Amino acid sequence: MTVFGFHASHEQIHPGKLLAAVIHAERAGFGAAMSSDHFSPWSARQGHSGFAWSWLGAALQATNLPFGVVNAPGQRYHPAIIAQAIGTLGAMYPGRFWAALGTGEASNEHITGDGWPRRDVRTARLRECVDVIRALLAGEEVSHDGLVRVDRAKLWTRPEQPPALIGAAVSVATARWCAEWADGLITVNAPVDHLRQMIDAYRDAGGRGPLHLQAHVSWAPDQAAAEAIAYDQWRSNVFAPPVCWDLEMAEHFDVVSQDVPLEKVTSTVNVSADLGRHVGWLEEYLALGFDQIALHHVGQEQRAFIDAFGAEVLPKLRTAAGSRR
């Protein structure tokens, strides 16, 4: 049955407050959690970007939830280091951790001082990183000379069962490509027809494992307040690739999003004061067959959202999910 989770957005919330939020989310009935992994926020208004891997250890210890993280190995992170991080959390919290791997964004990766590669090079680099991480988690000694370099690396602490490596995709073509290597697929909310095409492409290409969705929502008791939250916090996140991949600084996102209309934001975020409408939107995603849907309230204050969705939305979604079993 579909699990409904809480998305921990490090770009928007101080890690201490975010830890309190995920603890509260578990108590309110959320059944899982996932985490972003950024060096920079998407906007100066968001104002945070804690180190996800430190936070994940605390969050796994403080809750009983399964957790995932979306990571981009290859530039800011060496794949052997990511394999060690995945292996350690997998060993400490068996069966509770997964990692989604993607090609990343320049806003996080430019900090190394290396050039931001072309899209095709980034894709090839990710594929090399996946192979390195898998081999290390399998206990092999790895040396590799390619777009990433590894010299006689071996993980000495590993979980009995390697955590799943999930493919991150926002396009049909990338979903199809992920089927070559991934243990599952993760994407973000989009028009239902597009999501269906991505799922079909992944499965038709032999893609295995669970389907994950991160769903952006904005809720407040008043419609104007829900719209204001989404516009303030998420209007810098409405740009399609390659813009969102290639801009380097939070200030760049703020400049290009100055004149974004509210309608553009509400095409990316499900914005409503009506909890029933949120149920309807989420039931459409549920009907597509997602195994886990992580709810991301795009506001910086999470408690009211957690309480309202825990009491009024999640029970209805669980009933709907149960009827589809």
Which residues are within 8 A (CB) of 158 and not within 5 positions of it... i.e. 6 or more apart? 87, 90, 91, 137, 139
Give the chain's domains with CATH numbers: 3-323 (3.20.20.30)
Mean pLDDT, the chain, as a whole number? 97
Q: Give pLDDT tens digits for 103-130.
A: 999 999 999 999 999 999 999 999 999 9
Q: Give pLDDT tens digits for 249-278.
A: 999 999 999 999 999 999 999 999 999 999
Query: CA–CA separation, 153 vs 146, rounded Å?
Result: 15
Q: Nearest 5°: phi and psi at 218?
A: -135, 125
Q: Report DSSP letters for 57-75, one per residue.
A: HHHHHH----EEEEE-TTS
Catalytic position from the list 10, 11, 26, 38? 38
Q: In this predicted structure, what is the pLDDT of residue 323?
A: 74
Over the Cα atoms of the chain, what is R_g?
19
Q: In this predicted structure, what is the pLDDT of residue 54?
A: 97
Query: What are the DSSP E strand ranges found in the chain?
Result: 3-8, 32-35, 67-71, 97-101, 142-145, 149-153, 165-168, 185-188, 211-218, 270-271, 292-297
Is 301 among the residues known to form the active site?
no
132 pLDDT more than 80: yes
Average pLDDT over residues 192-217: 98
Catalytic position from the list 11, 105, 128, 227? 105
| pLDDT band per the 50, 70, 90 thresholds, residue 322 | confident
Is 160 among the residues known to form the active site?
no
Q: Give pLDDT tens digits for 17-28.
A: 999 999 999 999
82 pLDDT more than 90: yes
Instruction: Please tell me whether the overall predicted TM-score, pTM, comes out greater than 0.85 for this model.
Output: yes
Whole-angstrom CA distances from 290 to 99, 177, 184 are 17, 19, 11
Average pLDDT over residues 164-169: 98
Q: In this predicted structure, what is the pLDDT of residue 321?
A: 84
Average pLDDT over residues 144-148: 98
Place of tokens 């998305």: 7
325 pLDDT more than 70: no
